[in-house]
Amino acid sequence: MKKILLLKLSFIGPLLVISQTFSNSTGGPVADNNNYIIFPLIINGLSSNLNTSTFGIESVSITIDHTYDSDLRIKLQSPDGNVFVLTSSAGGSDDNYIITQFTDTAITPITSGSAPFTGYFKPIDPLGSVNNGQDGNGTWSLNVKDQVAGDIGNVISWSITFGDEPCGYVAPITFTESNLPIFVITTVNETSIPDEPKIDAFMGIIYNGFGITNYITDPFNAYKNKIGIEMRGSSSQDMFPQKSYGFETRDVNNLVKDTVLLDMPEEHDWILYAPYTDKTCMRNILSYDLSNKMGHYASRTKLCELVLNGEYQGIYILMEKIKKDQNRVNISKLLPTDITGDEITGGYIIKIDKSTGNGGDGWVSNYPTSVASSINILYHYPSSFNIVNEQKIYIQKYVDSFETALKSVNFSDPLLGYENYIGINSFIDYFILNELSKNVDGYRISTYLHKDKSSNGGKLKMGPVWDYNLGFWNADYCQGDVSTGWAYEFNDICGGGSDVPFWWSRFMEDPNFQNKLKCRWTELRQNILSINSLNHFIDSIAIYLEVPQDRYFERWPILGQYVWPNPSPIPNTYSEEVLAIKNWVTNRVSWMDINIPGTCDATISENELIINNLIVFPNPFLDKLNISLYLTKLDKITIEITDLLGKTIIKIDEKEYQSGKVIIDLNLSNIDFQNGIYLFKIKNSQTEIVQKINKI
């Protein structure tokens, strides 16, 4: 270890500006096991010529031999435990960092550079304010992790250069007031918030009502109590300096407590999402709002501003975490004792996502799209820690039965095919939202599904929708920035990793699915998906953020700069960002108008009769059936149950019902039913629906 003293002349006045560089030249191997290896650097001789109240880091230099650069995540850790990401997942399959200089004055972000990395690059986290105002003497460390097995590497050397005038230093933002709710969080005993577990903190919220200014000096009037907080996100933790957080509300005794926040239904699990890569700060808000308007639950959202440990952090989005709850994903509670009969059939929340690496977290679909990929289906509710073996077997078999039916030659048959297993309307709406946004992560990552008990309908449904920050023209890879083409055909463009399941291409081979899709798209284009409606919502958010966005981009000066994976051309102002998303949406909708397949019978008007939301339960049944449906208009209903040969077992002649929700209870105790499968038929003047039911 050695210390090198460098002197630099400043031509602003007669002052001599001092820089000092400290190096670790011992290095060592990088473990190929997804664990950080620590390379320390003890600093105990900062020059007395440095101004200890203003000095900071000017640059960090690294030299690393490695055969696959994108496997590496590299962080700088200060003596007080704060961690700053230099680079993560950059460089693809190429090799080596060769005297790579990280400095905030560099033009090229490390995520945009090419390996071997040589020269000057802008790090992921800004270095300008690192250690500013603190004593820099102590143990610093370079933390290096190889995320994927199969490659070798060594840290050769690394160094830190300090100076009186740290490059890129951003002075603290003077924050006094906002039209947004103000969140003030102070951690207890710790300044660094870990990924997990949650640490103790105090939170206060100032919110005086919509349109009323909130002052930082106002009393906490929307929340004032303890919380537990942790960092959240996977790649975003290492890639972006503005961090997202998960927190739980607690009472004065530090116990978890369900709480109403900003008029959202009470719960204790919440998210403060950092929209760093989405410079409009609205892509998730727009997506979740559209899903809710389509009739499907998605996380409620509230824009706010955050002050963390006395430092302004910028615009955040308060969001509901996906959970089973009567005000969130409203499905039945599933207890560990629910292992037979109707009880085991729901409720479940599962998701298609990257594997977490824990074998008990889910299963792998029997229908991969290629040899190089696998479809991971993970347990969400009950969690992998709470779900019992019988429930694992049930939900896996149910999803496998759906996939098997969809893969079969009879996949489009209304009795033998996939529609017996899914709520097709939820799949159609999910398809529309993913395609409208052309979300590159859609269908294949953060893709949730849920299933209630058979007595409550029992079919597998899509949703809630989640994580659309890379949609709506915000991905420069896999054609995410192109307003033409289908997102569900991702595998043909970028396949071989986290692939889109075969489901969607198979659905699009079914004329019935196509026709329903065409009708639903045509319907939505008349209201919530009209260009006027979409532009109005985007403009309303932009107006709401007109003042806060100035502060936000002062805190995080990224306007006009590339932030992974922003497409080009990169807008230079917030108003240009808003205009860009509006123009892209207009082009996307126009393309979909032309290319949505199927036909929709134009002779059926909105006022004509259809049967919606039909539920027949319990199924299997014993001596009674309950029917729930929705009529769009007064009409007469006929019900018939036949065996598989067409013999009528019971028929209830047409009876008139008013429009709206209709409940029909059938007492079958006096009917001579043999155990087995029957066909349940219900029809009105426009529609006949046939379902299989099972007598036990």
pLDDT single digits (tens) 473-501: 999 999 999 999 999 999 999 877 789 99
Angle between helices 531-544 and 574-595 (to 10 degrees): 160
- Which pLDDT value is given to residue 114? 87
Q: Which one has a higher pLDDT value, 573 or 610?
A: 573
pLDDT at 127 over 70: yes
- Chain segment 446-456, per-residue pLDDT in tens: 999 999 999 98
Model pLDDT, residue 9: 32
Confidence (pTM): 0.77
Mean pLDDT lowest for which of 169-178, 302-311, 602-611, 668-677? 602-611
pLDDT at position 241: 82
CA dihedral sign, ordered 271, 277, 282, 285: negative
Q: Indicate whether 265 pLDDT > 90.
A: yes
Separation between Cα atoms, residue 189 and residue 201, nearest integer Å: 9
At which residue do the structure tokens 């509300």 appear? 249
Residue 331 banded pLDDT, cuts 50, 70, 90: very high
Per the CB < 8 A criterion, the answer to whether 558 and 577 are in contact is no
Distance CA 522, CA 513 (A): 14
- Return the pLDDT at 459: 96
Q: Which residues pair with 271 in a beta bridge?
A: 246, 319
Structure token pair of residue 201: 């903190």
pLDDT confidence of residue 47:
67
Which residues does residue 631 pair with via DSSP β-bridges, in sequence order?
A: 611, 660
Kindly report the average pLDDT of the chain as a whole number: 87
> Helix count (H) and strand count (E) of the chain?
10, 34
Query: 391 and 360 in contact (C-beta within 8 Å)?
Result: no
Do the beta carbons of residue 632 and residue 610 sit within 8 Å? yes
Asked whether the CA dihedral 219, 301, 196, 86 is positive or negative, the reply is negative
What pLDDT sits at residue 602?
A: 47
In whole angstroms, what is the distance from residue 511 CA to residue 320 CA? 37
3-state helix, strand, coil in the chain (%, to 5): 20, 35, 45
Of 26-30, 108-112, 176-180, 597-601, least confident by mean pLDDT is 108-112
Higher pLDDT: 240 or 279? It is: 279
Dihedral angle, C-alpha 9, 10, 14, 19, nearest 10 °:
-60
How does residue 664 score in pLDDT terms, banded at 50, 70 and 90? confident
Residues β-bridged to residue 318: 272, 302
Residue 209's identity, in one-letter code, is G
**pLDDT at res. 7:** 34
pLDDT confidence band for 1 (50 / 70 / 90) = very low
Report the candidate in 322, 323, 281 with the shortest Cα–Cα distance to residue 302.
Answer: 281
| Residues 232, 254 contacting (CB under 8 angstroms) | no
Distance CA 647, CA 625 (A): 19
CATH architecture group of domain 2-163? Sandwich (2.60)
Contacts of residue 189, defined as CB under 8 A and 6 or more positions apart, other chains included, come to 200
Is pLDDT above 60 for 76? yes
* Top-confidence residue, 100 or 81: 100
pLDDT of residue 92: 82
- Reported as a pLDDT band with limits 50, 70 and 90, residue 302 is very high
Residue 61: pLDDT band with limits 50, 70, 90: very high
- Provide the pLDDT for residue 15: 38
Q: Which of 108-112, 217-221, 233-237, 239-243 has the highest mean pLDDT?
A: 217-221
pLDDT at 6: 34
pLDDT at 378: 96
Where are the extended beta strands (E) located within 446-541? 447-451, 460-462
Q: Cα separation of 613 and 634, whole Å? A: 16
Please give the pLDDT value at position 169: 56
pLDDT recorded at residue 14 = 35
pLDDT band of 612, cuts 50, 70, 90: low
Task: Provide the residue ranges of all domains of the chain, joining segments of one domain with +.
Answer: 2-163, 177-320, 341-595, 611-695
More confident residue, 45 or 52: 45
For residue 317, what are the β-bridge partners? 273, 303
The answer to whether residue 358 scores a pLDDT higher than 60 is: no
- Higher per-residue confidence, 252 vs 668: 252
Residue 613, number of CB atoms within 10 A of its CB: 12
Q: Which residue shows structure tokens 């011992």? A: 26
pLDDT band at 607 (very low <50, low <70, confident <90, very high): very low
User: What would the pLDDT profile of 137-155 be if each residue is shown by its tens digit?
Assistant: 889 999 999 888 778 899 9
pLDDT of residue 16: 42
Q: Which of 2-6, 239-243, 271-275, 374-378 has the lowest mean pLDDT?
A: 2-6
Q: Is the pLDDT of residue 566 over 70?
A: yes
Fold of 611-695: Immunoglobulin-like (2.60.40)
